[in-house]
Amino acid sequence: MTMSSSLPGLSASELKRNIKACILCEADLPFPPRPTFSFSVTSKILIVGQAPGIKVQESGIPWNDASGDRLREWMGVTNKQFYSTKNFSIVPMGFCYPGKGKSGDLPPRPECAETWMEPIFEKLPKRQLTLLIGQYAQSWFLKSLKKATLTETVKNWKTYLPEYFVLPHPSPRNNIWLKKNPWFEKTLVPQLEKRVGEILF
């Protein structure tokens, strides 16, 4: 049984309340659960990232950090436009900060996507584009169509259009990747900005 079939007739507002109250992986989190997301039945673009960082965990505002600043720059949108649910739904693979690992934040908890992604998708009838940011989102949505590495997946970005734009994470931790792959900001980013503009404006 899928989660959507076990939650028949749930409204978007009821679904949000259920997610906000979620404690599925409470025992595995470094802090009390604070699911951070945003979606609306009017949204035109869905952004699927990894999981909140510590700054977002503290503020409760998705992409409220340096990664978010770069993502908005890539798309050519303002903070006001970004946080308008008329424009964007923001649904990470994991809703809560997963904690620190040896080389950065831990992977998003799998319970979130397994439980909530399908019901959320059903509440986005106006979605025209989905941004898949990072390997976890790309693995979940693209499945066997994903390439062996994130770099190869992003290099083949045209393959996934018009439904998806595949992106590396905009974190400052990826500055080295961006320097090694200048084609990304020269070729893909202008097309992303153009497509976002066509949808929103």
100-149 residue pLDDT tens: 988 789 999 999 999 999 999 999 999 999 999 999 999 999 999 999 99
Q: What pTM did the predictor assign? A: 0.93
Average pLDDT over residues 3-18: 76
Q: What is the residue extent of each domain of the chain?
A: 19-200
| pLDDT tier, 8 (very low <50, low <70, confident <90, very high otherwise) | low
Structure tokens at 67: 């990664």
CA distances (Å), origin 13, targets 52, 98, 117, 145, 191: 22, 25, 15, 33, 34
Backbone angles phi, psi at 68, to 5 degrees: -65, -40
23 CB-contact burial (10 Å; exposed 0-12 / middle 13-18 / buried 19+):
exposed
**Residue 96, helix vs strand vs coil:** coil
- Rounded to an integer, what distance in angstroms lies between the CA atom of residue 57 and that of residue 55? 5
pLDDT band of residue 4 (cuts 50, 70, 90) is very low
Contacts 24+ apart (CB under 8 A), 141-145: 141/48, 142/166
Q: What does the alpha-carbon distance between residue 62 and residue 57 come to, in Å, rounded to a whole number?
A: 8
pLDDT digits (tens, 9 = 90+) for 20-65: 999 999 999 999 999 999 999 999 999 999 999 999 989 999 999 9
Which CATH number fits the domain 19-200, given the four candidates 3.40.470.10, 1.10.10.10, 3.30.300.30, 3.90.105.10? 3.40.470.10
For residues 142 and 164, the answer to whether their CB atoms sit within 8 Å is yes
Cross-strand partners of 167 = 133
